[in-house]
Structures are given as structure tokens and as C-alpha cells.
Amino acid sequence: MTEQKIPKATAKRLPIYYRYLNILKDADKTRVSSTELSDAVKVDSATIRRDFSYFGALGKRGYGYDVESLLKFFKKILNQDKLTNAALIGVGNLGNALLNFNFHQNSNVRISAAFDVRPDLANTVQSGVPIYPMAELRKQLEDQQIKIVILTVPSSVAQDVTDEAIAGGVRGILNFTSLRLSVPKDVRVQNVDLTNELQTLIYFLDHYNDED
């Protein structure tokens, strides 16, 4: 499955490139240079060239990169040529905002099922997504072959819910809770910790004056 492993730092930048290439395509641009890309995505141009070079020689010297073919390449690499279904667990404040958001607009991901303990939410539909009771979590994940979960439950129940989701076959978790989840090593957790982000921002403001 793994061709040749690219650096994690590079992998995290791929979606950024991908998005900007889509914008270029929509604007009918046919070519782009690493410097131009650099301006738009705020990544050093040498880093961009280095990133791209892990996948082979994608550009042409003296010319730059062809938008169309680069886009096609990244679409495949990022699995954006097929639809990925995800489940959302915890239809509260944040969960609702995510349900309403159309991820499918600029990525080939959609939330195809949601879950919550609240009895009044069970078996309703929010923004076109059916909400199931927690009792059905495992079954639905299995039936729908869902491998990715967005976790927006209270931190206090996050580990339990996670264990259940993994039992249902989940392989990746986008974790919005403040808990650092314990998972088997073949399950990947991506933490999005908004309180942390704010605190980090404050720390940087106080301790790193301008430079970087």
C-alpha cells in the first residue's frame, strides 16, 4: 500500500497544494511556478519543489508545472477521485456546525451518518444526514463500511465512544475533544484542539516577537 514513504510534513501540505490547484484550474490557468504557488499557500518555494519531487519530476525546467496534470496527480494521491464516507458522533454545538458544512464542496468526503445519545435526535435527519441512536453505531459503521469518524462528543465519554467505533471497524478519527485517545497502533487519530490552538497563539504572541 505504501509506495515510498514521504515525510509527514510533506503529507500535511498536500491538501493545501491540492486546494490551490483547484482554484487555478477554475481560473483557467494552465501553468504555475513554485514561486507563484509559494505566494498563495505561504510555503517556501524550495520546500514546494522538494515536496513535489518525492513523487518524481512533475514539472518542466524553465516552465513550471502544468496545472491540469498536477491536479490530476494529486487528486489520485489524495484519494479524491473516489467518495469517502465519514460518520459524525455527537450532534451538539460543534457537531451541528460540521453537519451543516459542505465538506463535499472542496473535498470528496461527506458525512453519511451521524450518531447521538439524545433520544429526541435519534431517527431524525439534519442537513440531509440521518441521525442514529448510539445503539446502532457499530452496526451502521459496519454496514456502511465507514472507516472515518468525526468525534464531537463531550471529552468525558470520548474514550468509550472511540472504543466502540473501533470495534465497528473505524481506522481514522478526527478528534475534537480535549482527550488524547488511546487507540491500537493501526488506528490513526488527528487531533483538532481549539482551546490548545488559542493558547498556542497567545504563547507565540507573547514570546516570539515578529521573527517567525
Ligand X SMILES: NC(=O)c1ccc[n+]([C@@H]2O[C@H](COP(=O)([O-])OP(=O)(O)OC[C@H]3O[C@@H](n4cnc5c(N)ncnc54)[C@H](O)[C@@H]3O)[C@@H](O)[C@H]2O)c1
Part of the chain binding a second copy (CB under 8 A), chosen from 10-18, 28-36, 44-52, 53-61: 10-18
Say whether residue 94 binds a second copy (CB under 8 A). yes
Site string for a second copy, 150-169 (x = CB under 8 A): x-------------------
For the bound state, the minimum distance from the C-beta of residue 36 to DNA, rounded and expressed in Å, comes to 7
The verdict on whether residue 90 carries a ligand-binding annotation is yes
For the bound state, the minimum distance from the C-beta of residue 134 to DNA, rounded and expressed in Å, comes to 35
Contact criterion met (CB below 8 Å) for 208 and 190: no
Site string for ligand X, 67-106 (x = CB under 6 A): ----------------------xxxxxxx-xx--x-----
Contact criterion met (CB below 8 Å) for 6 and 39: no
- Alpha-carbon separation of residue 79 from 6, 75, 83, 109, 117 (angstroms): 16, 6, 8, 10, 32
| Pick 68 or 136: Cβ nearer ligand X | 136
Say whether residue 136 binds a second copy (CB under 8 A). no
The verdict on whether residue 95 carries a ligand-binding annotation is yes
Residues that bind ligand X in the complex, under the rule CB under 6 A = 89-95, 97-98, 101, 115-118, 134, 152-155, 157, 161, 176-178, 194-195
Which residues are part of a known binding site for NAD(+)?
Answer: 90-95
Residues that bind DNA in the complex, under the rule CB under 7 A = 7-10, 33-35, 44-47, 49-50, 52-53, 57-65
